[in-house]
Structure 1
Amino acid sequence: MNFKKGNNFYLIILLILCFCEHLQSQKVADSLKNVSYDYMWERYYADTTRAAKIIYTDAIIARTKKEGDTATLMGGYELRSYLYRKNNRDKYLSYLDSIIKLGELKPINGYPEDKLLERGVDFYLNNDLKNALLDFIKIEDFGKNNTNLIRRNYNHLGLVKYELGDKFGALESYFKSLDMLKRESNSSQKSYLILYFNISNIYNETGKLDSAQYYINEGIRISQELNDTLYYNHFIANKGINLFYKEDYERANEILKKCLDSVQSEEVKAHINYYLGTINKKIGKFEQSLKHYLIVDSIISKINVLNPFYRKTYIELINHYKSKKELKSQFYYLNKLINMDSINHENEVFLNRNLYTDYEIPKLKAERNQIIFNIKQKDRKKMIWIIVLLVGSILILSGFIYQYYKRKSYQTRFLTLYNNQENDQKKEVPTNIKKPSYQLDISEEIIVHILEGLQKFEKNHDYLRAELTLPNLAKQLQTNSKYLSKVISAKKGKNFVQYINNLRVNYAIKKLKNNLSFRKYTLVAIANEIGFKKSESFTNAFKKETGITPFYFIKELQKKHPNS
């Protein structure tokens, strides 16, 4: 009971202190009503306490809202945003949002482009690549007169595009920045190092190895002139990567191993370890390879990088543990890969560019579900195998049965063709028709004329002409296409194409049976010989007429006459 009373006492004291502080703050705020903005700006930077800085920014924001001073209001929001940049990202972004909205309505004094760049960098560092890209693109609409900012923005655009997998788009942005840098009178050599490193990196990864080597050499030269060991080591690492792509694995391995201890960037270390892992895999040192891939995973997990370049590391780890049948490790890295691909998928990169080959997101999820199933359902494994074997056996047996009856059916059709002497006899075209002439709306004299013409047409094998069409046959028979089509349909029970294909196929059958040389032709040559322009058309027509393919027919003929 006394404890509760003690608590109440301290609570009352705390409330009194807070109230006093509020009164003091209000007193300070009231005292700032008539002072200049310059004074408050000066006091903001001079006073080291957070509470005082809040009071000054509150006063600036309140007065500028009342007076409608948009430019100074944006300045007040900017000062306030600094207070939350390191410890409260949501508030920090909310003040940047306010500045950008005001600046878009009334661009002034570098607003909103400066803050678009600042917010875009924050999005980039927090892997919100889609929003980062939107901010960097917007800058071009507002900062056209600020060439230095536009140049720096191209650098950031390149970084985001590279992270999104658009390497050629990134390269384009880097070269725009490089062109602007060359036109600056007081350009920094350090700016060249940043660009040359990024450009050489992309050229390495896209196979432009000579171009990569040029920018690597330039980077090494400038970094030596500036005595910049940081970038010097980065360029040496890129030199090793360049040798890797040239398949000089021994030198690449030697250079990259030396670079590991000298580079400072964690992401560059991740890159180096990936290449060392791949080199060791190629030369058969699989344990060393695994060690480097695990280091890559450790680094990118620590710095929260989702660059699609690193998904190859997870594929290697998944495949390694899959081969070792270590399901839990396989499942662990499969989840990491799914997470990486899912985030990139939300950024509309991977699916739009068809970069997924071995591990599309749905496939990954299906494989993950299968692993979960295997872990939880080991007791049912034998039953699953029995079912699989049973279904497989049924499918195989069904396939054998189907093939047996198919071969039997083909054999029967072949024998029918082979023994059918009608194909070897001359077929006369009778002059009587199935329909009376008055039903065809054609005079009997014309019908007889057409039939006699068809008889001569068949006798002379004119149907073997590849250029044969209904109109030119009608012209040959001195009639018109309409009459000819009606007579063929009534007499043969076929349309014109079916009638010609039937004549050609029967001719081919007869010639294949009786002519050894013709039997040795290719299907293309046979098709051309009997009037078909394509072997596929001949095969389709032959199968439609006979139920078997010409290839099968010829093969069976050769069995019947092996020595002929």
Structure 2
Amino acid sequence: MCFIKIRSFIFWSLLCLYTSSNAQDETQHIPDSLEGKSYKYLNDRFLENRNDTTLVRIYLNTLIAKAIINDDKIAKSHGLIRLSSYAINDEEKLNYIQESIAESNAVDSTYAIPSYNSLGIYYYVRYDYEKALQQYITVLNLSIKKGIKSYEVNALDNIGKIKLDIGKYKEALAIYRKCFYLDQSSDDEKELSILESSLGLSESFRYNKQYDSASYYYEKVIKRVREEYPLRLSKALINEGINLYHKNEKEAAEILLRDGMSHVNFNSQYELKYYTLANYYLGEMIQSSDRKMGENYFLKVDSLVTKYDFSIAEVKGAYTTLIANYKAKDDYKKQSYFQSKLLHFNEVITTRNLTVSNQLNAEFDTPRLLKSRQELIESLKNKNRQLSLEKILLAIVLVLAIGLFLLQYLKNKKYKKRFENIIKEIDITAKQEKDFDKIPNTSKLTIDVQLVKDILNKLDVFESKKGFLKNSITITSLARKLSTNTKYLSKIVNTYKGKTFITYINDLRIEFILKELKVNSTLQRYTMMGIAEEAGFNSADSFSTAFKKKTGISPSYYIKKIKNIEKEEMML
């Protein structure tokens, strides 16, 4: 019985790989010409005519009607999910998928795996990453529980796509590696699955700047992709074209990018993302020799991003270049227009990333933890432990929930206190005046007192003119500017500022940006990299580290609290 169920599941699942959906019942009837035809006959006709929407709907509706008559919920479920690909609108498509899930779950949740996967894809292409992730995690849990490797790989691949989309490149690479090794170790390994995991691994290596590894996995499969799987060709070529661009092999990169663009399916939003990337990198390569043509590629990128609401962080440079070009032409209207578009672009990316980031951390790792915990429970059962597994699990969950709640509560309380102290310090330091006439004992410095006063006064001017905002400032350059040497400057900063030179500069920058963020609502909307640059830092990581070291809280938390205060003030 179990073998028959598994064989039936595999049969229907393979057919479902062509599509993704479900919907509400129509009043179906079987045409006379199809009366008495088998499921296999109807499936074959569907596959032969899948580009003819009218015929497809006839065959699939007939299959569903036959399934209803026979009370065959599995056949109905898979008929609905294939029919969803031909739905006339989003509402109908979603209804088909959800009904398919209900029909399958009425028999066995195993049969609902393809439907949950389709629901994940439905949400993913509409950028509802949070709901997409929920479905992919359901697929992952069920496939691990039922031991279905193909859907475990499929779920991991889809979660990996979300990780790439939100910039979690190292985590995505770990997932694609697991996909690849699962495919390699599978008893029923399928060539297409191995090719797809190889391409996913190649792309992930590229995002992690491991360009030679990316090329290695591309070279392993590209011949077979060209010969047997042309539908995957655009992704493979464009990804390797971008990889070669980063390896500074520009001519070869341009050839692959153009070749990849020629194979894009313009009815596939997924492939249009790669088409957008190809336009961006061609623009990057061409603009140095032909600015007008490069600009056209960037305008094409903007057109695609706007039309399909893409959030591809990689193409942000198209907007910054367009803004710079129009500024150079004194075309302030277009410069302002693309500045607004860049702000919107950044907001969309930030919103989508933040929405799903925490859930990825909390929920994606959970199946792996649950699997390990289940293995532990099984070993306890084998040793004839008398405790109830349900009680153990409930106790663990309760303890973890209470512990996490308390930790979060204490963390929020501590952060809130730090934030309040920062606001107070900003107000206090704004009123403080410096007096260098009263200098403490300098005997340890062996530096003339008047010289110390002069350097401190010059440091005061340096601070008032915000010289610390230059990202190229060093102790050598500042010593030269103050007409002293690095040794004296270092000793004076250590003695009178009570910190190293690097910490001194970073603290000035953080104090500046704290005040600016408090009063500048436009700055609050910048990306973390944009804020870092405004403060004089070369990277978002170094800025966040210095900010946390100085204040004890993260920049994002500070900005969030500032915005909350502004909202409260507006409501008064």
Q: Which has the higher contact order (CA 8 A, sep 6+)?
A: 2
Normalising by structure 1, what TM-score? 0.49
Larger radius of gyration, structure 1 or 2? 1
